[in-house]
Amino acid sequence: MRYLLRRLLLVPVPLIFVIAFVFVVLRLTGDPVAIYLGLDATPEQEALLRAELHLDRPVIVQFGYFLLDLVQGDFGTSIQFKRTAMDVVMERLGATLQLLALGLSLAILLGIPAGVACAVYKDKLPDFVLSVLAVVGQSMPSFWLGILLIQLFALDLGWLPTSGRGGLDHLVLPTVTLATFLIPNFILVTRVSVLETMREQFVVTARARGAGAARALWRHVLPNAINPVVSLIGLQLGRLMGGAVITETIFAWPGVGRLMVSAIFQRDVPIVIASVFIVAVTIVLANLLVDLVQAAIDPRIRLR
């Protein structure tokens, strides 16, 4: 509980940095009054809105009001949808979380066993083939892969839909695209972690006492090699959210990432703020969950 409370106290710190960064960027990209009212606004309307948004105050005071509104859950009204920005974002969050969960699950199910196979068959054909595929996967842009998958499986073969959200068939191409973005990292990190653990003294001792290769792998190597892989999951969540933005745009997936891109082009500031905030909260809470899982599987972490 002490470890959990200490981690919970640190949760607001990255959120404050993200909020401050968004605030500065929004102030640098243009006058919010011009964005809200357009070119036909009268000077009286501009002055009234400027006072309402506290833009006539010093910047530090504006940031204080900005934080106060966010704490109260007030992200403003969307210019496009004429509704509360947070309500619009929360409607899209389910689609994004569904895509992220499936993409991460597929990456884990394929990447970790492949990494173990690379370590077990070190310097042999399976290791060479899987390592080459991992390097190629790391070098492949996700938007290019998504377009290729659409061309092959949707347009040429007609097996799967090109875009949108519907049944399970609509999930296949976006999930594969997003998982391919992560699988190479899981392969390479798992391979290195398993190889390093295999050289530890307790594994050598277990083999010397008669434990077979399979028993040593499952009972001694994998439980001690999994910690870096769990850490990798936390580190990859940011990249996963970034990849989701591209994937949702390519496949017209109605998630937060696509909504954010549309809001940026439409200069819908409340939607941008709410989207960035939700993405930041999701990443911070997911990393907290990963830290708790690490503390559960490795008692040494709780002593730090």
pLDDT bin (cut points 50, 70, 90) of residue 160 is: confident
Overall number of domains in the chain: 2
Q: Please choose, from the candidates 151, 188, 174, the residue with its C-alpha nearest in 3D space to the C-alpha of residue 255.
A: 174
Residue 168 tokens, joined: 């399970």
Q: Are residues 106 and 22 in the same domain?
A: no
Q: Please choose, from the candidates 227, 234, 115, 241, the residue with its C-alpha nearest in 3D space to the C-alpha of residue 181.
A: 241
Q: Are residues 146 and 8 in the same domain?
A: no
Condensed to tens digits (0 to 9), the pLDDT of residues 197-230 reads 888 888 778 778 777 777 778 877 888 888 888 8
Q: What is the distance between the alpha carbons of residues 167 and 302, in angstroms, rounded to a whole number?
A: 43
Q: Are residues 32 and 110 in the same domain?
A: no
- Give buried/exposed letters for 256-267 (b at 16+ CB in 10 A, else e): bbbbbbebeeeb
Q: Are residues 196 and 269 in the same domain?
A: yes
Q: Are residues 102 and 64 in the same domain?
A: no
In sequence order, what are the beta bridge partners of 84? 77
- The per-residue DSSP string of 73-142 comes to T---B-TTTSSBHHHHHHHHHHHHHHHHHHHHHHHHHHHHHHHHHHHHTTTSHHHHHHHHHHHHHHHS-H
Who has greater pLDDT, 73 or 30?
Answer: 73
Q: Are residues 40 and 93 in the same domain?
A: no
Last residue within a domain, chosen from 44, 71, 98: 71
In a domain? residue 40: yes
Q: Are residues 52 and 100 in the same domain?
A: no
Residue 155, amino acid? L
243 and 295 Cβ atoms separated by less than 8 Å: no
Q: Are residues 294 and 170 in the same domain?
A: yes
22 and 276 Cβ atoms separated by less than 8 Å: yes
pLDDT of 224 reads: 81
**SS3 at position 247:** helix
Q: What is the distance between the alpha carbons of residues 55 and 253, in angstroms, rounded to a whole number?
A: 36
Last residue within a domain, chosen from 71, 98, 121: 71
In a domain? residue 101: yes
Residue 99 tokens, joined: 């895509």
Whether 35 has a pLDDT exceeding 60, the answer reads yes
Whether 159 has a pLDDT exceeding 80, the answer reads yes
In a domain? residue 80: no
Q: Specify burial of residue 296 (Cβ count, 10 A radius: 0-12, 13-18, 19+).
A: exposed
Condensed to tens digits (0 to 9), the pLDDT of residues 178-188 reads 888 888 889 98
CATH number where 240 lies:
1.10.3720.10
Q: What is the distance between the alpha carbons of residues 28 and 64, in angstroms, rounded to a whole number?
A: 17
Q: What is the distance between the alpha carbons of residues 252 and 45, in angstroms, rounded to a whole number?
A: 37
Domain membership of residue 63 as a residue range: 2-71
Q: Are residues 19 and 93 in the same domain?
A: no
**Nearest 10 degrees: Cα torsion 26, 30, 31, 36:** -80
In sequence order, what are the beta bridge partners of 77? 84
Who has greater pLDDT, 244 or 110?
Answer: 110
Q: Are residues 116 and 223 in the same domain?
A: yes
In a domain? residue 77: no
In a domain? residue 244: yes
In a domain? residue 219: yes
Displacement of CA 111 from its chain's centroid (Å): 17
Last residue within a domain, chosen from 71, 95, 121: 71
Condensed to tens digits (0 to 9), the pLDDT of residues 95-140 reads 888 888 898 899 889 999 999 999 888 888 988 998 888 888 878 8
Q: Are residues 33 and 130 in the same domain?
A: no
In a domain? residue 76: no
Whether 303 has a pLDDT exceeding 60, the answer reads no
In a domain? residue 78: no
Q: Are residues 55 and 180 in the same domain?
A: no
